[in-house]
Amino acid sequence: MNKLRWGILAVVLVVCAALFFGFVLHNEEYTGQEFMFDTLCSITAYGDEAQNAVEAALERAREIHSITNGFSGDSEVSGINSAKAGEKVKISRDIAKILQTARKVETASNGAFDVSIASVVRLWNFDGEGRVPSEKEIAEALSRSGGEKFIMDFDEGLVIKKEDGILIDLGGVAKGYAADEAVKVLKEHGVQGAIVDFGGNILCFGKNPNSDDGLWRVGVQKPFAPLGEVDEENIIEVSEAAVVTSGTYQRYFEKNGEKYHHIIDTATGYPANREYSSVTVVAENGLVADCLSTACFVLGKEKGTELAKSFGAEIFFK
Ligand code: AMP
Ligand code: MG
């Protein structure tokens, strides 16, 4: 081989190597996981900055967990819950955003979604052993719920209770917001594609490097089957979306052969017993999708579908 041919070969090899390493680096994959919001939260991202981005996104989610966690005495939610009637409680921008969207969905769902159902949720002790409250207890707790018992001034960042003893529970909405914020951080770090899975709240964006068409395939968990089991026909293909599921199987207890799950019908104070076990909402935004999935579960198929459509979301009942 003459010098020119060696030269050409060398150039070709360098170009191939650059393309190869460029491809590999471009597709660097990193998964980070953490137990938060009482569930396993996991993020897989692709791109040069994947690891830093995932760590920063988990940090942001941790922040949201710490302010929304009603079980921690020093969280913002606990601050609201321990406030007396008439007291002006200053809220952060995060809590204001969550409460503002929650209020929109509360109004649109005629109160089927209502973060102030907390007193009733607590009675059932879903986070502990579970217990069936008496009718009297439920009636009393219901009398301490209802969005109208709060004044919320989102511009001033203030919440004021009209009565003592009114509580809020962001369990039906915080994970969706945290997933949105995690996605923001990933994008700020230049991540080209990622999937965020916060216990049934799945957000994806960018290109999926593991599929030919770049789409993400999100499987809807088969109710009461082992975690990760999905029916072939329940795989949703998306490029950028929030796919959020509320299901009876996610948190429940059994007493005397009866299952009691954690999604409360605000009209009765009892678990919303419906002909389906889960509701999946596909929307642009995790916060909206999270409120909607809970709301639509309570509302039932007909009204739930109407509500989801009014927010431009798709909905599936299983
Ligand atoms: P999700 O899994 O998003 O449907 O949220 C269920 C959680 O939301 C429950 O564990 C409760 O903490 C809370 N919750 C239950 N019922 C309601 C309701 N009707 N409106 C708002 N939050 C609720
Ligand atoms: Mg929800």
Measured distance CA(302)–CA(185) in Å, rounded: 37
Q: Do the bridges between strand 258-261 and strand 150-153 make them parallel or antiparallel, or are there none, so unpaired?
A: unpaired
User: Does the model's pTM come out above 0.85?
Assistant: yes
Q: For the chain, which residues score pLDDT lower than 70?
A: 1-27
pLDDT tens for residues 238-280? 999 999 999 999 999 999 999 999 999 999 999 999 999 999 9
Cα–Cα distance measured from residue 4 to residue 140, given in angstroms and rounded to the nearest whole number: 90
Tell whether ligand 1 has an atom less than 6 A from the beta carbon of residue 172.
yes
Nearest to 181 by CA among 276, 97, 272: 97
Are the CB atoms for 201 and 290 separated by under 8 Å?
yes
**Residue 130 gets which letter from DSSP?**
-
pLDDT at position 164 = 97
pLDDT in the model for residue 25: 47
End-to-end CA distance of the chain: 67
pLDDT attached to residue 228: 84
Pocket of ligand 1 contains residue 286 by CB under 6 Å: no
Ligand 1 site-directed mutation target among 109, 120, 121, most atoms within 8 Å of CB: 121
Q: What is the pLDDT of residue 137?
A: 98
Q: What's the 247 CA to ligand 2 centre distance in angstroms?
A: 9
Cβ–ligand 1 contact at 290 (below 6 Å): yes
**90-117 pLDDT, tens per residue?**
999 999 999 999 999 999 999 999 999 9
Residue bearing tokens 């393309």: 19
Cα–Cα distance for residue pair 110/295, rounded to 1 Å: 9
> Under 8 Å CB-to-CB from 232, ≥6 apart: which residues?
none
CA triplet 231, 38, 129: central angle to 5 degrees? 95
Residue 51 Cα to ligand 1 middle (Å): 32
* Cα 111 to ligand 2 centre (Å): 14
Mutate to test the pocket of ligand 1, among 101, 169, 246, 292 (most ligand atoms within 8 A of CB): 169
Q: What sign for the dihedral angle of Cα 267, 268, 269, 274? A: negative
Ligand sitting nearest the alpha carbon of 37: 1
CB-CB contact of 84 with 161 (8 Å): yes
